[in-house]
Amino acid sequence: MTATSSAENLRHARTGGPEDGPKILEHVLGWTLVVVLAVFVTQAGLM
């Protein structure tokens, strides 16, 4: 592997997330998960 192909691979490393999806949807789903988890913890009496 040459330095050029190594740099190319690092630039295009896949992280498992959506490539070009709407960022707002990702944020909304993330915060929804946080709120649902907080409600569950509160209702279960863990906090």
Assessment of whether the complete model's pTM goes beyond 0.95 = no
pLDDT in tens, 7-28: 556 666 667 766 666 888 889 9
Question: What is the residue range of 41's domain?
Answer: 21-47
Q: What is the pLDDT of residue 12?
A: 65
Q: Total structural domains in the chain?
A: 1
Residue 32 falls within a domain, yes or no?
yes
Residue 46 falls within a domain, yes or no?
yes
What is the DSSP code (8-state) at residue 1?
A: -
Residue 4 falls within a domain, yes or no?
no
The Cα-based distances of 8 to 1, 4, 5, 15 in angstroms read 11, 6, 5, 15
Q: What is the pLDDT of residue 32?
A: 97
Residue 37 falls within a domain, yes or no?
yes
